Amino acid sequence: MQDTVSIIGTGSWGTTLAVALARAGQNVNLWARSREEAAALNARRENVEFLPGIAFPLTVRVTHDMAEAVRGARIVLAVVPSQRFRDNIRLARPHLAPDQIVVSAAKGIELGSLKRMSEVLREELPQIDPAQFVALSGPNLAREIAAGLPASTVAASSDERAAREVQKLTSPLFRIYTHSDVTGVELAGALKNVYAIAAGAADALNVGENAQATLLTRALAEMTRLGVALGANPLTFAGLAGIGDLMCTCHSPHSRNHTLGGRLARGEKLVEIQSGTHMVAEGVTTTRAAAALARAHGIEMPLVEQVHAVLFEDKSPRQAIGDLMGRGAKTEFWGIG
């Protein structure tokens, strides 16, 4: 049995990571928001709300006590929605030690500050060397991993030693690659959710495979443009955290962002969709943040602009497609077109 790993968050992804790591031989502390939630999860040994049908291994222990959850853990993974990430890290801060590795598994950009999750960690955890922060991102549909299907992901850190420590969590069915481009990995993981909304709408409108291929290719060009402007390596977007996650999320009916896009295309309103589900579609808030980042850096991101118009300006997805197809002629090279 290995050292303890702590996971903050009991959503579908946090629960999946807890199950997958425990199956691979780790002791896992899983932090829940309330005493009642922790008691229910420990009693049922299953997350009925977010991951029904998947039993907790014996080495998963759920607690509502943050100190109990994170103290002594070799690696602490924060697996919460990006807009609640800062608040949860603040709860953990008094109980985290300088030698712990803190991993962000949230895929989003904070509204207002427009900061990536590793930047939030830098601000909120001054007692920990930023070299010990790691971003975890890749084509990781929770339900498939929980079901025991093979998958890969990327652990990115400015310090190779920290990334390699997280890589030690690799198991026969969950392969972890290391990476040094934290900016690129985080941006790719966040932005792909925006394009998954567009892909879901396109599927619902039966636009065809040609159009979907165009959407994914131009999405890759857009995220690379923004990433390079923010200091990322363009090759990162050709990897697992980039095109890998983009393809997975844009094609999968299990993606909540893809599902949301389809419902919008069928005439439902955003407020109705959001009020009827307990799951967070990160692409909604990321669309706002990505549009603001693009404007701030003078980066053209027409797909993001059109998704923003559909979500927040009551534009129809069909009209958004028409406007994209009617844009002026461009060269394909991503740095220009």
Same domain, 27 and 138: yes
Rounded average pLDDT over 268-273: 92
Rounded average pLDDT over 106-132: 97
Give the Cα separation of 324 and 337 in Å (integer): 13
Question: What pLDDT is stored for residue 336 in this prediction?
Answer: 43
Q: Which of 115, 168, 192, 269 is catalytic?
A: 192
* In a domain? residue 82: yes
Asked if pLDDT for residue 280 goes beyond 80, the answer is no
Same domain, 80 and 137: yes
**27-to-48, 72, 104, 197 alpha-carbon distances in Å:** 22, 12, 19, 36
What is the DSSP secondary structure assignment for residue 154, as one 8-state letter? E
Question: What pLDDT is stored for residue 1 in this prediction?
Answer: 39
Question: What pLDDT is stored for residue 332 in this prediction?
Answer: 84
Domain final position from 115, 149, 180: 180
Question: What pLDDT is stored for residue 156 in this prediction?
Answer: 98
pTM of the predicted protein model: 0.95
CA torsion angle for 100, 106, 107, 111 (degrees, to 10)?
-100
The question of whether 115 is a catalytic residue gets the answer no
Rounded average pLDDT over 102-116: 97
231-252 pLDDT tens trace: 999 999 999 999 999 999 999 9
Asked if pLDDT for residue 47 goes beyond 70, the answer is yes
Percentage of the chain exceeding pLDDT 70: 97
* In a domain? residue 333: no
Range of the domain at 25: 4-180
Give the Cα separation of 86 and 120 in Å (integer): 6
CATH number for position 116:
3.40.50.720
315-337 pLDDT tens trace: 999 999 999 999 999 888 755 44
Same domain, 37 and 125: yes
* In a domain? residue 330: no
Q: Residue 152 — φ and ψ, nearest 5°?
A: -130, 160
Residues recorded for the chain: 337
Give per-residue burial for 179-204: e unless 16+ CB within 10 Å, then b.
Answer: bebbbbbbbbbbbbbbbbbbbbbbbb
For the chain, what is the domain count? Answer: 2
Same domain, 174 and 207: no
* In a domain? residue 337: no
